[in-house]
Structure 1
Amino acid sequence: MFFIGILGIENKQKEIKFLNNIPCRNCDKGLGGKVIKNFNFFHFFFMPLFTWNEKYYIMCSGCNSVYEIPQDKGKRIEKGENIEITYWDLRPIETGYKNGNYSVGNRCAHCGKVVEHNFKYCPYCGSEIK
């Protein structure tokens, strides 16, 4: 038997750690930044069963620019390893800090879910992303 609300797919953003001396490409201050993990997960009764599409980002604490970092380095940071992030590891993302929250991707105006920046339609409600 299938009950609506028991199973689901969601997108989540989670702050992993604050790193010092991140060489920001925008402000070049090296003040540090937050490491953010963005991922999709399938849940059963709100317990995540498996995840996919994991991406790691760093948000500069000086200018709030958001950069994607390599997934292998992001996973190692999440495990607690001391990893050096270089200028060349930072890939600029077009979206950034908005209304007191960091944003990676677009937000659907209809349901409010965060979707990838290249999506034209929301995978959750089907509305067009504007």
Structure 2
Amino acid sequence: MFFVAGVYPKSYTYEYNRAEICSSCGKYGRYMVQGHCNVFSFFFIPLFKWGWRYTVTKSCCGQTCMLDKDLGDRLRRGEDVVIAERDLDCGHARTAGYTGCPSCGAHVDPEHNFCPNCGQKL
């Protein structure tokens, strides 16, 4: 008998349409909110999703920050949420000493050219 099963990373983009003033560059911009998880599929049907984490990319300067997990879960469920600066962790953002993937937010060694978690080119 032949079974087809696999685990792979998956990203989802969520609608967030509020203009914000960026604390990094001081310009108006929008937040692009993404949810990232691991998916187990069986015969190409996704069965389980786990390990949710959320990133916010600022349109004004391109900085990527981690979003508070509880707030991200609420946004994923379709609730109307407001993202404040205190809900963001920009400590891993792409600056000098870059240590975070702009796609999935995973911590990456500075010498890597590709993210070991999602394969995104850095």
> Does the alignment reach a TM-score above 0.5?
yes
Partner of 2:75: 77
Partner of 1:34: 32
Q: Is contact 1:22-1:60 (8 Å) kept?
A: no
Flag as ranges the 4+ runs of structure 1 deviating above 4 A.
none
Q: 1:57 aligns with which of 45, 55, 75?
A: 55
Give the total of aligned pairs.
107
| Superposed CA RMSD | 2.7
Is the deviation greater in 34-43 or in 13-22? 13-22
Deviation at 1:21, TM superposition (A): 2.8
Structure 2: 5+ residue runs without aligned partners?
A: 96-101
Structure 2-normalised TM-score?
A: 0.72
Does the alignment pair 1:47 with 2:49? no
Structure 1: 5+ residue runs without aligned partners?
A: 97-101, 117-121, 123-130
Share of identical aligned residues, percent? Answer: 28
Cα distance in 2, alignment partners of residues 62 and 79 from structure 1: 27
Deviation at 1:71, TM superposition (A): 1.2
Structure 1-normalised TM-score?
A: 0.68
Cα distance in 2, alignment partners of residues 29 and 113 from structure 1: 29
Cα distance in 2, alignment partners of residues 30 and 82 from structure 1: 21
Q: Is contact 1:38-1:54 (8 Å) kept?
A: yes
Cα distance in 2, alignment partners of residues 28 and 86 from structure 1: 15
Cα distance in 2, alignment partners of residues 50 and 56 from structure 1: 18
